[in-house]
Amino acid sequence: METVPEMFGANVFDDRQMKARLSEKVYNSLRRTIDEGKQLDISLANAVALAMKDWAVEKGATHYTHWFQPMTGVTAEKHDSFITPAPDGGVIMEFSGKELVKGEPDASSFPSGGLRATFEARGYTAWDPTSFAFIKDKTLCIPTAFCSYTGEALDKKTPLLRSMAALNTQALRILKLFGNDSVHMVRTSVGPEQEYFLVDKEMYDKRRDLIFTGRTLFGAKPPKGQEMDDHYFGIIKPRVAAFMADLNDELWKLGILAKTEHNEVAPAQHELAPIYSTTNIATDNNQLTMEIMQKVASKHGLVCLLHEKPFAGVNGSGKHNNWSIGTDTGVNLLTPGDTPYENAQFLLFLVAVIKAVDEYQDLLRLSVATAGNDHRLGANEAPPAVISIFLGDELEAVLEAIENDTAYKGEKTAKMQLGVDILPVFKKDTTDRNRTSPFAFTGNKFEFRMLGSSNSIACANIMLNSAVAEVLQGFADKLEGSSDFDKELHELIRDTIKEHKRIIFNGNGYGDEWMAEAEKRGLSNLKTTPDCMPKLLDKKNADMLISQKVYTKAELESRCEIMLENYVKAVNIEALTMSDMARKEILPAVEAYASSLAETALRKKELGADISQRYEKSVVSKLSSLADLIYDRTDVLDEATAKLKDIESIEEQGYFIRDEILPKMAALRVAADEAETMTDRKYWPFPTYGDLLFGVR
């Protein structure tokens, strides 16, 4: 039996394989491409392709694919075999550098937001050498970027790589001001915690809402939910433990650093957390993790639900994006350090993040906006839609002392001036965590807690990287060539704190008082996707993203269109599914049970006038009224979805869904859920919340 170290990365063409299979010249050239972004010429690409193919064939691979991340939210792949005809009628296994670095999938059927017409089919995939190739299902998967024939990015990887490059450029300028000339690369790293639900597949197959939409559109609250808090960190059930063990094996073979697993708060809810990776690799790995979760679950007769709110009334699932900035010399730039010199550098990067989050809070909010996440944000298990930063009491006191040029209470000194050794030495974890904060500093990183469980982490990190790069650029412009660096550095940090302290909040983000206070501070409260997405094209946001070379104007317009389209399509599918289930499953079940009770009442009456039929008559009356209500509300919902087709503007469609369709869906659900509580279980047409949440043992 293989040990974990032997198993780990077995299906990845990682640095160990490259060292073993490439000549020193080719290996060093490839490392320069990976580490410094240097171009790889075709002769070297051919050598890499040959070694990669030989390794993959030895591992049983028969095909290769350019694995990419279009704007669908999932990954895409087109498989080509390694076989090439041989003169003797047989075949040989070939793979060239040209095939490695470039592919040509059909781009016409992927979302483009108007960048491409349907008849314009040509698209290109380009190898991303910073993310290792891997084998999945006997196919060599080559991580790639995806663009159109005319060069526009049609994926999530390309803007992410651009945002990382932008932050690297500006962070290096800042580090040089502090004398850090040995640093050649600054990268952001991410550790995304992935929450999910596991339900029994036989039950899942009986729920059309889960099949079509990923969430339950109907469901009365069961007698027990999560109120006992007995599932959180509880004993893992054998069937779930077996799933987790197999999942770990599959992820470890793919070099994914799965580290922590446990039961989450809601029944049937669980979490997987990895060790940090460079943001690009972490994004690829998280997409793979979600895919592998669903495949492994199926082997165990389970279904892995990644929707943000699959069940009403219990916690939804998020994906906490733990984000930090580090150098190629191993320094975490969000670690306070042990000397005043390091403190000053840390404080500058800290206030850069504070300013970036404040100025571009709308971009961060829209980066996590989906129809599913709209149901989760603001509920008791997720942060509110208002962006704020949690720093903790000690760090907030330090910033307050700098802002006011007063004594820091944690030290005996009278005044704080940057660059002088009276600065305090900060300690990690000197304050409690704040689960209600959307953006919390946790010692040497920020935890962005607003992402939904099905989100690609690319979107949030694109906005975060870009915004911080923009702020660092402004800081570098101001400080480069300064006649009195320490003085101007101190003034810059102090002024930034004064101008952006409104975004800092250490209290309870769930309280009504905070919502009122946030409004006073002028913080945005974008509650739904239709509220969020148009902000992408605001001049402030578009100018920043274009100036940092992360998006072009056309790419921004396309993404706004795509995300609104996804929202409209998702909710429209939900509305149609609700109507279908109400008419074909719920109403027949209610009518059948009511008829059964009516027959019982009639038989009782025939047996004698003194036999009571009060129960039957009462329930039949209530069920008949509810059936009429369900019927009427289904009609009203159908009328609203029909009107949606007549609205031309995608933006107006989003508002119509928000204001008209969602309230009608909620009203229909109330009536149907009440009917469920009164209908005999053997008549109810699909598994209940109690069945689904407690059915995996």
Q: Do 90 and 190 share a domain, yes or no? A: no
Residue 351 pLDDT exceeds 50: yes
Would 557 be classed as within a structural domain? no
pTM, entire model: 0.93
Residue 119 pLDDT exceeds 80: no
Name the domain boundary from 155, 179, 198: 155
Residue 415 pLDDT exceeds 50: no
| Range from 4-8, 66-70, 357-361, 402-406 carrying the lowest mean pLDDT | 402-406
Among 613, 586, 557, which Cα is nearest to 684's?
586
- pLDDT tens digits for 201-254? 999 999 999 999 999 999 999 998 888 888 888 999 999 999 999 999 999 999
Residue 423 pLDDT exceeds 80: no
The residue with greater pLDDT, 110 or 423, is 110
Would 105 be classed as within a structural domain? yes
C-alpha 358/C-alpha 417 separation (Å) is: 25
The residue with tokens 């895919």 is 291
Q: Do 536 and 594 share a domain, yes or no? A: no
Cα atoms in the Cβ-side hemisphere of radius 13 Å centred on 576: 11
CATH number of the domain to which 573 belongs: 1.20.120.1560
Residue 116 pLDDT exceeds 70: no
The number of folded domains in the chain is: 3
Name the domain boundary from 155, 176, 210: 155
The residue with tokens 């839609």 is 385
C-alpha 573/C-alpha 238 separation (Å) is: 35
CA 183 to the chain's CA centroid: 31
Would 74 be classed as within a structural domain? yes
Structure confidence at residue 271 (pLDDT): 97
**Could you tell me the end-to-end alpha-carbon distance of the chain, in angstroms, rounded to an integer?**
28
- pLDDT tens digits for 555-583? 999 999 999 999 999 999 999 999 999 99
Q: Which two structure tokens, joined as six digits, stand for 466?
A: 């870009």
- pLDDT tens digits for 464-522? 999 999 999 999 999 998 889 989 999 999 999 999 999 999 988 888 899 999 999 99
CA angle 104, 109, 114 (to 5 degrees): 105
Give the pLDDT mean for 646-654: 95
H helix runs in 405-484, sequence order:
457-479
Structure confidence at residue 603 (pLDDT): 87
Structure confidence at residue 379 (pLDDT): 65
Cβ-based neighbour number of residue 531 at 10 Å? 20
C-alpha 637/C-alpha 217 separation (Å) is: 14
Structure confidence at residue 557 (pLDDT): 94
Structure confidence at residue 69 (pLDDT): 92
- pLDDT tens digits for 661-682? 999 999 999 999 999 999 999 9
Residue 332 has what DSSP assignment?
A: B
Helix (H) or strand (E) holding 655: helix 650-656
Q: Do 173 and 34 share a domain, yes or no? A: no
Give rounded-to-5 percent helix, strand, coil for the chain: 50, 15, 35
Structure confidence at residue 420 (pLDDT): 39
Residue 2 pLDDT exceeds 90: no
- Give the pLDDT band (50/70/90) at residue 413: very low
Would 192 be classed as within a structural domain? yes
Q: Do 175 and 150 share a domain, yes or no? A: no
Cβ-based neighbour number of residue 171 at 10 Å? 27
Would 561 be classed as within a structural domain? no
Q: Do 530 and 643 share a domain, yes or no? A: no
CATH number of the domain to which 41 belongs: 3.10.20.70
- pLDDT tens digits for 307-345? 999 999 999 999 999 999 999 999 999 987 766 556 889
Give the pLDDT mean for 122-149: 91
Domain span holding position 498: 163-551
Q: Do 684 and 631 share a domain, yes or no? A: yes
Structure confidence at residue 608 (pLDDT): 76
H helix runs in 522-647, sequence order:
529-532, 539-547, 553-581, 587-607, 614-644
C-alpha 73/C-alpha 376 separation (Å) is: 18
Q: Do 254 and 347 share a domain, yes or no? A: yes
Q: Do 603 and 514 share a domain, yes or no? A: no
Residue 484 has what DSSP assignment?
A: S
Beta-sheet strands, E only, within 350-432: 389-390
Residue 656 pLDDT exceeds 90: yes
Name the domain boundary from 155, 180, 198: 155
CATH number of the domain to which 479 belongs: 3.30.590.10
Give the pLDDT mean for 41-53: 91
C-alpha 143/C-alpha 127 separation (Å) is: 6
Q: Do 529 and 635 share a domain, yes or no? A: no
φ, ψ for residue 203, nearest 5 deg:
-70, -45
Q: In this prediction, what percent of the chain has a pLDDT beyond 70?
A: 91
Q: Identify any residues that bridge with 322 across adjacent strands, giving them in sequence order.
A: 191, 447
At 479, the amino acid letter reads L
Q: Do 404 and 309 share a domain, yes or no? A: yes
Structure confidence at residue 167 (pLDDT): 98
| Range from 116-120, 132-136, 633-637 carrying the lowest mean pLDDT | 116-120
Judge residue 23's burial from the number of C-beta atoms within 10 Å of its C-beta, 0-12 exposed, 13-18 middle, 19 or more buried: exposed
Would 236 be classed as within a structural domain? yes
Would 596 be classed as within a structural domain? yes
Would 556 be classed as within a structural domain? no
Among 443, 448, 168, which Cα is nearest to 323's?
448
- pLDDT tens digits for 606-630? 887 678 888 889 999 999 999 999 9
Q: Do 537 and 608 share a domain, yes or no? A: no
Q: Identify any residues that bridge with 525 across adjacent strands, giving them in sequence order.
A: 386
| Range from 162-171, 290-299, 439-448 carrying the lowest mean pLDDT | 439-448
Q: If you write DSSP's letter for every residue of 45-64 in order, what string do you get?
A: HHHHHHHHHHHHHHTT--EE
Q: Do 172 and 297 share a domain, yes or no? A: yes
Task: Sort strands 277-278 and 258-263 into parallel, antiparallel or unpaired.
Answer: unpaired
b/e string for 328-360 if b means 16 or more Cβ within 10 A?
eeebbbbbbbeebebbbbbbbbbbbbbbbbbbb
Mean of the per-residue pLDDT values for the chain? 90
